[in-house]
Amino acid sequence: MCVGKQGFLLLCLFFTLIYSAVCSTSSFSSPATHLPPSLPPPSHSALSRALAYRFLAVAHWEKSDHGTAIGLLLQAQTLLKPRADGVSSGLPSTDDLRFLSKYKPQVEILRKEVNGMLTSWKQDNSMIYFAAIVDAMSLPPLPAGANMVQLTKYDYVSSLPPILFSEPAEA
């Protein structure tokens, strides 16, 4: 899959969010001072889910599952809309939160890209594919995250001869 400049910026934002979430929840203190010390969970999870819905929508579109792809992109658009109040879904204002204010240009690029894709996909669907758009309740769930670190068991074998760090002296 070819990723343009905007797609690359979105991937960088996505991985920055993942890295900052790991650093904020871990027990060690991160030497990276450019990351915010604590992330507001609602905005962090909404932005992460919106990115996940966007990439999942592209995957469904490429598999010719156009109705599901449009439904997933509609979910991403809903999560990216500016929140009117503290209760509704969407992102809080980028000016209110220190975390989102740092990523305001990337969030705006993501909003424009999702809106543009949605307009194009709806037009293609209404003229070519005629697939029923899947509503939010019938959408497939987001895949669970993968645990990248796995425990490796080490078996000590005592029957092996010791490893010498220098050559034995010849007699």
DSSP state of 96: T
The dihedrals phi and psi of 98, each to the nearest 5 degrees, come to -60, -40
Is the separation of the CB atoms in 60 and 69 below 8 Å?
A: yes
- pLDDT band with cut points at 50, 70 and 90 for residue 46: confident
- pLDDT band with cut points at 50, 70 and 90 for residue 78: very high
Angle among Cα 56, 59, 62 to the nearest 5 degrees reads 150
Which whole number is the average pLDDT over 157-171?
A: 69
Q: Give the predicted TM-score (pTM) of the model.
A: 0.64
- More reliable by pLDDT, 23 or 7: 7
pLDDT at 96: 65
Which whole number is the average pLDDT over 115-144?
A: 92
Provide the percentage of residues in the chain whose pLDDT is more than 90. Answer: 30
DSSP, collapsed to helix, strand or coil, labels residue 85 as coil
pLDDT at 30: 37
Residues linked to residue 91 through DSSP beta bridges, in sequence order: 82
